[in-house]
Amino acid sequence: MSKIVTILLTVLIVVLTSFSKRKELNKHQIKEPAFSFNQYVVQLYECVNDVDINVEAFNIALKGYYMLLSNSELENKKYLTIVDMSLSSNAERFYVIDMENLELVYRSLVAHGRNSGGEFAFNFSNKQNSFQTSLGFYKTGEVYVGKRGFSMKLDGLEHSNNNARDRGVIIHGADYVSEKFIKENGRLGRSLGCPSLPSKSIIGVIEMLKEGSCLFVYYPQKKYLSKSKLINSNNDYLLTNSGILSGLE
């Protein structure tokens, strides 16, 4: 009798292990052929499985990410960061997606420029001393310790943000990016144009995103959306030249 029980337990363990591995594969790998880029975006969105991420922002971010990837412009391919400036600054609108495992690995509050708006950002600029947020795709640059502590430089990759380095737009921690500040002031604090993050997590975030990862600052501004070459790239080109058809790189 004990021998039969042992055999049954062994079979059960094998079945459960197989099911678990299959479930993990389905979660983190897309093996079904994508017949269009939009179809592929839907598949990835379902894998990430976080309804708080704006679908349009996600779609656009993926287009830019894969275009930069196909042009060999990203050294750190693992992470895609989306900063959704269409949301209230009191909401967690900074999202880091692990593109290898297709999951959201970090989200937090993030500040916009003080001249971009109060609780909500409405105005965006690439000009010196505008103290506004710049839209578009960035690549993370050098890590350093400066007057704002542990920080990381950003390189703007589009017409809308290519002055980022000259303007000193960086990722850094700030005490005004916190739930405490919101409770005391009714809204998050604002930066001089930098996507400032909570001080308590800044080291971990920078260590994750450093060395050439993709960061996208989103807002549904018609002027930016119509002029961005990355956003208006050919979907068929992306589908055939970025490794999508053969699975994630």
Alpha carbons 31 and 239: distance in angstroms, whole number: 14
Taking each helix axis from N to C end, the angle separating 37-48 and 55-70, rounded to the nearest 10 degrees, works out to: 110
Could you tell me whether strands 214-218 and 136-146 are parallel, antiparallel, or unpaired per DSSP bridges?
Answer: antiparallel
pLDDT of residue 30: 52
What is the 8-class DSSP label of residue 191? Answer: B
What's the average model confidence in pLDDT over 21-30? 44
What's the average model confidence in pLDDT over 163-168? 97
pLDDT of residue 179: 97
What's the average model confidence in pLDDT over 21-49? 66
User: How much of the chain, in percent, has pLDDT values that exceed 90?
Assistant: 71
Q: What is the CATH number of domain 32-240?
A: 2.40.440.10
Alpha carbons 76 and 72: distance in angstroms, whole number: 10
Contact criterion met (CB below 8 Å) for 181 and 167:
no
Alpha carbons 233 and 178: distance in angstroms, whole number: 37
Quickly state the pLDDT bin for 115 (edges 50, 70, 90): very high
pLDDT, one tens digit per residue, over 195-249 is 999 999 999 999 999 999 999 999 999 999 999 999 987 766 666 666 665 544 4
What are the boundaries of each domain within the chain?
1-29, 32-240
Global pTM value: 0.84
Q: Which of 32-41, 107-116, 236-245 has the lowest mean pLDDT?
A: 236-245
What is the 8-class DSSP label of residue 33? Answer: P
